[in-house]
Amino acid sequence: MALRHLTAFVFLIFIISSCSSDDAANSNKPYIEGRITVNDSLDSTGDYSGIQILSSVRSGAESIDTLFYAVTDSTGSFSGFADIDENGIYPVLLSRNSNNFGLLNVVLAEGDSVSITAELPDVRNTSEITSDEQEVLRTLERVERGFRRVANFMNAGAISADSIQIEIEKWSDIYWQVFEENRGKHVARLSGESSATILQGWNDSLMVERANIVLDEYSRISPNLRNLLIQHISDTEGLSATLGFIDELEEKTPTENDKISIQIKRIDLLYDSSRTERATEYLNQLKNEFPEDEFVQSWAENMAYDLEYLAPGSSFPELQFQLVNGDSVSTSSLKGQPFLLEVTRLDNALYQEQYDRTVAIYQIYRNFDLEIITVPVSVSDVMFSAFFEERSRIWPFVRPNSFDTEALVEVLNLNRVPTRFLIDADGTIIGRYIGTEYDNILDGLQRITTITE
């Protein structure tokens, strides 16, 4: 009899222990509960069971992580804990019988509780999301709508140049007020980052001050703001200070994705600065630290090729082309003058947007003997002619389809267009500029003109 009581007691202790462990495991996870009903016009039975609430994110090329999944009971009620790696704004899909009825943007943050109510089928107009974080998000969205209106006025020239900085700093203060009134919350971090970001180029010292406050409090900042700080430190304090700042960022960041992003930024910086040996060391470190990450391994493979063959300071590969005017040109024949080789699709919106700036650059720097060679890929003769109906062609273009595109992609390790290479008069690579890195071309051109002078 005593043994039976002891066994029961031990079993009870096990049950209590298991429940306590589950509670501890879930104690800091976002808790989601709510009630989803159905309009009588769609289902008049009053049975609201079988409605699925799903939140998932893509974690790789072919894998999807489920953060939250629940199914309503007959009253439409549901509840559960979300499993997130980091705080953020996540999509939540409502569906029933394989029909999707609505997608909600919900803030999921550690320790927060979220309530979701809605009525099918009109989820958009009947949904209500309640949580501490969601309330701050609504405030932030109102601020962002106001700032976008002002930004549109600025871009339209409706605000005088003298008043723009005043407006920028005013709205930065409004964003900062949202941050200060809600410190510790995820959305407050987003507002603090916006406050700092919009100051770039207008009040850089205050940008740095506010960014550092956000970084100290949350141990991380957005990639966009992080890159602005890195660029600012690079411009004002040099490479050594920039690398030191990147080391601090890596030590502070709590997430694996941020660590990867920061390490990649360090390697890119060393690559652009012709520190190929150090870049290679950090590249090997990155590969060894994340051996199962497909993105890391793919990126590392491309960067290893760039470091060996296309890094600044390396000789540019020998290429030969036939030009539209019938002449032939090779990279070796261009030695003795600097040149910019650009590879692009002519229907690329970014290239079209940048074209007038390229014309201006050519008109200025041809005084320093600069040549530009444009290699158009995936373009027909008709498309080529149409491109120049309203544009001037003042530098050499390679004849469309007169070269082996696959071989060019392989030799220059092309992943995106437009991609540009700036080469000095000795045939040495000054820099490679992909997509929106266009502004950095001016820094390279200044180096060439300084050498020429």
CB atoms within 10 A of CB 45: 9
Model confidence at 271, pLDDT cuts 50, 70, 90, reads very high
User: Can you give the pLDDT at residue 25?
Assistant: 53
Residue 181 pLDDT exceeds 80: yes
Mean pLDDT, to the nearest integer, of 370-399?
Answer: 94
Model confidence at 14, pLDDT cuts 50, 70, 90, reads very low
Q: Which of 25-39, 115-129, 137-151, 209-223 has the lowest mean pLDDT?
A: 25-39
Model confidence at 161, pLDDT cuts 50, 70, 90, reads confident
The tally of CA atoms less than 13 A away on the side-chain side of residue 345 is 10
Model confidence at 61, pLDDT cuts 50, 70, 90, reads low
User: Can you give the pLDDT at residue 10?
Assistant: 42
Mean pLDDT, to the nearest integer, of 146-162?
Answer: 91
Three-class HEC string of the chain: CHHHHHHHHHHHHHHHHHHHHHHHHHCCCCEEEEEEEECCCCCCCCCCCCEEEEEEEECCCCCEEEEEEEECCCCCEEEEECCCCCCEEEEEEEEECCEEEEEEEEEECCCCEEEEEEEECCHHHHCEEECHHHHHHHHHHHHHHHHHHHHHHHHCCCCCHHHHHHHHHHHHHHHHHHHHHCCCCHHHHHHHHHHHHCCCCCCHHHHHHHHHHHHHHHCCCCHHHHHHHHHHHHHHHCHHHHHHHHHHHHHHCCCHHHHHHHHHHHHHHHHHCCCHHHHHHHHHHHHHHCCCCHHHHHHHHHHHHHHHHHCCCCECCCCEEEECCCCEEECHHHCCCCEEEEEECCCCHHHHHHHHHHHHHHHHHHHHCCEEEEEECCCCHHHHHHHCCCCCCCCCEECCCCCCHHHHHHHCCCCCCCEEEEECCCCEEEEEEEHHHHHHHHHHHHHHHHHHC
> Mean of the per-residue pLDDT values for the chain?
91
Residue 378 pLDDT exceeds 50: yes
Residue 3 pLDDT exceeds 50: no
CA distance 119 to 184: 33
Residue 18 pLDDT exceeds 60: no
Share of the chain above pLDDT 90, in %: 81
The bridge status of strand 419-423 relative to strand 339-344 is antiparallel
CA distance 237 to 229: 11
In CATH, which superfamily holds the domain spanning 26-130?
Carboxypeptidase-like, regulatory domain (2.60.40.1120)
- Regarding predicted confidence, which is higher, 272 or 245? 245
Residue 156 pLDDT exceeds 50: yes
Helix axes 186-197, 132-155, angle to 10 degrees: 20
Model confidence at 253, pLDDT cuts 50, 70, 90, reads confident
User: Can you give the pLDDT at residue 11?
Assistant: 45
Residue 172 pLDDT exceeds 50: yes
Residue 232 pLDDT exceeds 60: yes
CA angle 148, 152, 154 (to 5 degrees): 115
Residue 119 pLDDT exceeds 90: yes
User: Can you give the pLDDT at residue 27?
Assistant: 66
Report in angstroms the alpha-carbon separations of 161 from 133, 152, 201, 340.
37, 14, 14, 34
User: Can you give the pLDDT at residue 188?
Assistant: 98
Q: Which of 18-27, 248-257, 284-293, 327-336 has the lowest mean pLDDT?
A: 18-27
User: Can you give the pLDDT at residue 450?
Assistant: 59
User: Can you give the pLDDT at residue 6?
Assistant: 45
CA distance 400 to 380: 7
- Regarding predicted confidence, which is higher, 59 or 69? 69
Describe the strand order of the beta sheet including 419-423 as a list of residue ranges.
Answer: 371-376, 339-344, 419-423, 429-434
Model confidence at 436, pLDDT cuts 50, 70, 90, reads confident
User: Can you give the pLDDT at residue 23?
Assistant: 53
Mean pLDDT, to the nearest integer, of 260-267?
Answer: 96
User: Quick one: fold of 320-452?
Assistant: Glutaredoxin (3.40.30)
Domain residue extents for the chain: 26-130, 133-218, 320-452
Mean pLDDT, to the nearest integer, of 193-211?
Answer: 97
Q: Which two tokens stand for residue 453?
A: 């002078």
Model confidence at 162, pLDDT cuts 50, 70, 90, reads confident
Share of the chain above pLDDT 70, in %: 92
All residues at 6 or more sequence positions from 40 whose CB lies less than 8 Å from its CB, including other chains:
none
Model confidence at 16, pLDDT cuts 50, 70, 90, reads very low
CA distance 418 to 216: 37
Q: Which of 19-28, 51-60, 203-212 has the lowest mean pLDDT?
A: 19-28
What number of residues does the chain have? 453
User: Can you give the pLDDT at residue 296?
Assistant: 95
User: Can you give the pLDDT at residue 26?
Assistant: 62
